[in-house]
Structure formats: structure tokens, C-alpha cells
């Protein structure tokens, strides 16, 4: 970076709306390389809205979002290639097998990962034995694991936006995801995630970003 | 762009192959709806021959509209649509692929079934050829416009009915020229003009509808 900052994503003066209601205002957030940020805030105060804004799925009513100093609207394809957004929904098709579903979602970024990489990612998440099973036959926790297996594929994007990634995961799943987050931070990626439970990640210790100061009283 | 197009198209075809019964429903609807007309109108061969092209076209139109309203609903509900819109390539590739998959799965079987239906209505050989030719040029238009309607009504209650009300008026030119081609052949004229107009409509829709659909998808997922 020419300006010497390690900032990957920066939001300034951001305003988020759901329907007609303004949820937060004047929000300032910077995600630097190697950052793992825990986005906190009570239910219905706009955590998901903020993640969707940062992912470019919605347009903010005010404020700017910059990726490596370039506004999102102009950042285009290079920015989307550097982003993983995993929402509440797992985005897996019921009638596809776990392998097919993962390959499709991961392939949307440009090139489809090869069979070996997909198998390794599923093994990492502990769902390799269900690789050929239709997604419809998987439990909630297993589906979450398949969706999160995107993060274990080789050459992962630099920026992770994860909405409640620990949802439905058991202890082993939580440990695996913590491991993935630690590796991601170590190769100077950045992650922003929401979670209702306290994070058990210790290396690096997640920075807490509290949504409350920006929330608009209803 | 073609990567994304092919990925979405192949996935949709694979999903259709996994849900064979569901994929055949538009065809079954088409055949059942068409065969109701002789019962309602009466078995007079002269009358049936005359109204056959219109009936086939109207039923193909309705079969397309009824099957297209779930085109984006499933992907919207399970989050796949968001992921597709986050792909580095433009969403127009997604819109084109979904329309292409819809045509291959529910449009193409109607074209294959149409000559058989035509024979039931005692249509002549040249008239059958004109019917199939018209459907070949016309049904992709229905899939493209239907996709646009499905994107516009995504996430709305009673979206299915609204979709039909939005899209049906847009499809009337295809209906007029498609059924008109058969009429022209039957009265001994050339159907070339009708084909040209259908072809022009197809080109215009192919160039315009996916862009509008992509924009509508972005609005619907916000």
C-alpha cells in the first residue's frame, strides 16, 4: 500500500437502514490486516445489516465504505474476489451433495476448486464422511460446517465477513473455526464476525467492536 | 462471465435432474390444459383445427408463467442468490443462466410435445412445422421475460399472481406472431414475416431482459 496503512476495509459516517427505520448512524469502522473483530450488539440493532452493507449486498443511505482505499462502487471484481460473506443462510442446495454444493459456492469466485482441495476442506471441518450425502440429509451443525469449509479451501480471500458462524456448531466445530480464524489472521487476513456467545479464540484475541454507541434510539 | 454462466446453468440442470417429477410438471400441465379444450369446445374437427395454434400457444404461455415463479424463490430463501450476486462477474450472467436453464427444462419439452398435440387437433404437416418453428423462437422469450417477472416479484406475498399480471402483457407480441405464423401457413401464405418478427423480439429480449433481471435481483435482495 502506497499510503502505508494496513487498512483493508474502512467505513466512515456509515448509516444503516432496515426498511424505513434507521438502525445506526455515523458508524466508523476499520478492519486492518491480521484483525479479527467481534461485532457486538443486541438483537435487531443492525449487525446483519452492517455486514450486508460491508459485503456490498446493500447500499448505505449515508457514508462511505472503502476497500484498500477505493470506494466499494469502484472496487469491482478485484474486491469481490477478496471477499467471503457467510450469512445466516448456508447457501447450500438441498438436492446437491455436500461436495457439489461447496464446489459451486466456492467456484463463484472465479475458478472451481479441484476435488482434492474440496475433500481436504471437508475433512478439516470433520464432514468428509458426509461428502457424498445430499445436503438435505445433513443436520444443522453439519450444514454449517459444509458452509464454513469454504474458509478452509486453499488461497482463501483476504476479507471474511461471517454472520453468526458459530451458530449450531459443537465444541469440536468451534475449535476448528477458531483454528481457521487464527491461521487467517496469521497470514494477515481480516475477519469481522458476529456471535451471541463469547468468543473462545485466544490467539489472536479478537478486538471487540461495539455497535451500541452508533445505534439510533427507536 | 461465461464461467459464472456455465456454473449456474450446470447447477440448475443438475438440480432439475435430481427433481425429475417437479421438472416434468410444466409439461404435464401443458398437455392436460390443451386436452381440456376439445372437451369444452366440442369435437368438431374443423373448429379444433382452426383454434389449435392459439390453444397451444396460450397453454405454453401459461405453463411457462406457472413454472417460472419459483425460478429465484429457492435460491433467495437458502442464501444461494446472495452468494451468486457476490460473484466477481456481473449478475447478468446469473440472470441469463437461470433463464437458459428454465427454457431447457420447461420450454424445450413443450416444443417436443407440440407436434403430438397438433396431430390430436388434426393440424396439417406444414402447419405443424410452423407451430414448432414459432415455439422455438418464442418460448425463449417467455423464459427471459418470466425470469424478469420472477426477479421483480421476489419475496412478495402473492408474487405468483403478480408475476403473471406483469409478464403476460409483455408476451402478447410473441403470442400474436407465433400463432399468426401457423395461420399464415394454413391460408397458403409465407410465414417468413412472422418468423422475422419473432426473431427480432427474441434478439431484443435476449439483449435487454437479463440486464433488467440483474438490476431487479439486486433491488430484491437489499
Q: Which pLDDT tens digit goes with each residue over B71-100? A: 999 999 999 999 999 998 899 999 999 999
Inter-chain contact A109–B84, Cβ cutoff 8 Å? Answer: no
CB pairs under 8 A between A and B: 70
In chain A, whose CA is at the least distance from the CA of B82? A57
Residue A1: predicted pLDDT: 39
In angstroms, the CA B45 to CA A148 distance is: 63
Assigned C-alpha cell, A134: 445430499
Inter-chain contact B78–A94, Cβ cutoff 8 Å? Answer: yes
Contact partners, residue B196, CB within 8 Å, separation at least 6? none
Q: Select from A49, A44, A7, A48 the least CA-distant residue to A29.
A: A7
Q: How far is CA B39 from the centre of its chain?
A: 25
pLDDT at A137 over 90: yes
DSSP H or E run through A208: strand A207-210
Inter-chain contact A108–B4, Cβ cutoff 8 Å? Answer: yes
Tens-digit pLDDT string for chain B (222 aa) = 788 999 999 999 999 999 999 999 999 999 999 999 989 988 888 889 889 999 999 999 999 998 998 899 999 999 999 999 999 889 999 999 999 999 999 999 999 999 999 998 888 999 999 999 999 999 999 999 999 999 999 988 888 889 999 999 999 999 999 999 999 998 888 889 999 999 999 999 999 999 999 999 999 888
- Is the torsion defined by CA of B122, B128, B130, B134 positive or negative? positive
Residue A5: predicted pLDDT: 55
Are B20 and B26 in contact by the 8 Å Cβ rule? The answer is no
Q: A109-145 in b/e burial notation, b at 16+ Cβ within 10 A?
A: beeebeeebbbbbbebbbbbebbeebbeebeebbbbb
Residue B165: predicted pLDDT: 92
Question: How do the domains of chain B map onto residue ranges?
Answer: 2-221
Contact partners, residue B128, CB within 8 Å, separation at least 6? B114, B115, B118, B119
Q: Exposed, middle or buried, B108 (CB in 10 Å: 0-12/13-18/19+)?
A: middle
pLDDT digits (tens, 9 = 90+) for A167-184: 889 999 999 999 999 999
Question: In chain A, where does DSSP find H-type helix?
Answer: 47-55, 72-81, 98-107, 115-124, 140-148, 171-186
In chain B, whose CA is at the least distance from the CA of A54? B86
**What mean pLDDT comes out for the span A87-98?**
92
Residue B61: predicted pLDDT: 94
DSSP A23: E
In angstroms, the CA A130 to CA A146 distance is: 10
**Which of A90, A91, A109 is nearest residue B88 as measured by Cβ atoms?**
A109
A155 near B CB under 8 A: no
Residue A6: predicted pLDDT: 66
In chain A, whose CA is at the least distance from the CA of B76? A91
- Contacts of residue B19 in chain A, CB cutoff 8 Å? 95
In angstroms, the CA A54 to CA A79 distance is: 11
pLDDT digits (tens, 9 = 90+) for B98-108: 999 999 999 99
**Which of B14, B79, B88 is nearest residue A89 as measured by Cβ atoms?**
B79
Question: In B153-191, where does DSSP find H-type helix?
Answer: 159-186
Are A96 and B15 in contact by the 8 Å Cβ rule? The answer is yes
Residue B18: predicted pLDDT: 93
- Contacts of residue B18 in chain A, CB cutoff 8 Å? 95-96
Assigned C-alpha cell, B155: 419475496
In angstroms, the CA A143 to CA A17 distance is: 30
Query: To probe the interface with A, which of B1, B21, B72, B88 has the most A CB atoms within 10 Å?
Result: B88
DSSP letter string over A31-75? EETT-EEEEE--TTSSHHHHHHHHHTSS--SEEEEEETTEEHHHH
A93 near B CB under 8 A: yes
Are A32 and A54 in contact by the 8 Å Cβ rule? The answer is no
Lowest mean pLDDT among A57-61, A199-203, B36-40: A199-203
pLDDT at A218 over 70: no
Enumerate the β-bridge partners of residue A134: A97
Put simply, the chain A residues between 61 and 90 with a CB less than 8 A from any chain B CB are 76-78, 80-81, 83, 85, 87-90
Amino acid at each position: 500500500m502506497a499510503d502505508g496503512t494496513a487498512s483493508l476495509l474502512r467505513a466512515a459516517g456509515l448509516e444503516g437502514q432496515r426498511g424505513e427505520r434507521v438502525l445506526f448512524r455515523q458508524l466508523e469502522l476499520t478492519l486492518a490486516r491480521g484483525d479479527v473483530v467481534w461485532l457486538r450488539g443486541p438483537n435487531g440493532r443492525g449487525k446483519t445489516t452492517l455486514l450486508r452493507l460491508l459485503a456490498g449486498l446493500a447500499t448505505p443511505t449515508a457514508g462511505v465504505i472503502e476497500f484498500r482505499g477505493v470506494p466499494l462502487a469502484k472496487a469491482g471484481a478485484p474486491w469481490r474476489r477478496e471477499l467471503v460473506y457467510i450469512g445466516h443462510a448456508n447457501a447450500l442446495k438441498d438436492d446437491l451433495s455436500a461436495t457439489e454444493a461447496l464446489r459451486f459456492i466456492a467456484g463463484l469466485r472465479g475458478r472451481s476448486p479441484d476435488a482434492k482441495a474440496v475433500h481436504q476442506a471437508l475433512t478439516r471441518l470433520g464432514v468428509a464422511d458426509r461428502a457424498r450425502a445430499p445436503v438435505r440429509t445433513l443436520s444443522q451443525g453439519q450444514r454449517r460446517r459444509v458452509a464454513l469449509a469454504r474458509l478452509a479451501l486453499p488461497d482463501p480471500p483476504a476479507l471474511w465477513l461471517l454472520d453468526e458462524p458459530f451458530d449450531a456448531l459443537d465444541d469440536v466445530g468451534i475449535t476448528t473455526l477458531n483454528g481457521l480464524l487464527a491461521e487467517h489472521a496469521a497470514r494477515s487476513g481480516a475477519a469481522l464476525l458476529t456471535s451471541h456467545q463469547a468468543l473462545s479464540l485466544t490467539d489472536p484475541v479478537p478486538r471487540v467492536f461495539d455497535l451500541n454507541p452508533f445505534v439510533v434510539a427507536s | 462471465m461465461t464461467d459464472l454462466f456455465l456454473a449456474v446453468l450446470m447447477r440448475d440442470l443438475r438440480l432439475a435432474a435430481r427433481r425429475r417429477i417437479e421438472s416434468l410438471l410444466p409439461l404435464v400441465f401443458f398437455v392436460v390444459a390443451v386436452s381440456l379444450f376439445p372437451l369444452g369446445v366440442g369435437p368438431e374437427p374443423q373448429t379444433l383445427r382452426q383454434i389449435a395454434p392459439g390453444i397451444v400457444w396460450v397453454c405454453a404461455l401459461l405453463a411457462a408463467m406457472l413454472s417460472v415463479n419459483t425460478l429465484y424463490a429457492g435460491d433467495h430463501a437458502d442464501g444461494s442468490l446472495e452468494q451468486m450476486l457476490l460473484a466477481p462477474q456481473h449478475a447478468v450472467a446469473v440472470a441469463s443462466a437461470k433463464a437458459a436453464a428454465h427454457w431447457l427444462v420447461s420450454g424445450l419439452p413443450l416444443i417436443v410435445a407440440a407436434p403430438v398435440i397438433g396431430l390430436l387437433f388434426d393440424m396439417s404437416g406444414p402447419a405443424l412445422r410452423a407451430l414448432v418453428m414459432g415455439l422455438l423462437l418464442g418460448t425463449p422469450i417467455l423464459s427471459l421475460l418470466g425470469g424478469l417477472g420472477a426477479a421483480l416479484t421476489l419475496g412478495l406475498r402473492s408474487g405468483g399472481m403478480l408475476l403473471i399480471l406483469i409478464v403476460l402483457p409483455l408476451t402478447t407480441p410473441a403470442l400474436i406472431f407465433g400463432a399468426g405464423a401457423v395461420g399464415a401457413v394454413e391460408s397458403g401464405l409465407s410465414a417468413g414475416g412472422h418468423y422475422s418478427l419473432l426473431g427480432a423480439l427474441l434478439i431484443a429480449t435476449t439483449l435487454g431482459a437479463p440486464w433488467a433481471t440483474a438490476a431487479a435481483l439486486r433491488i430484491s435482495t437489499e
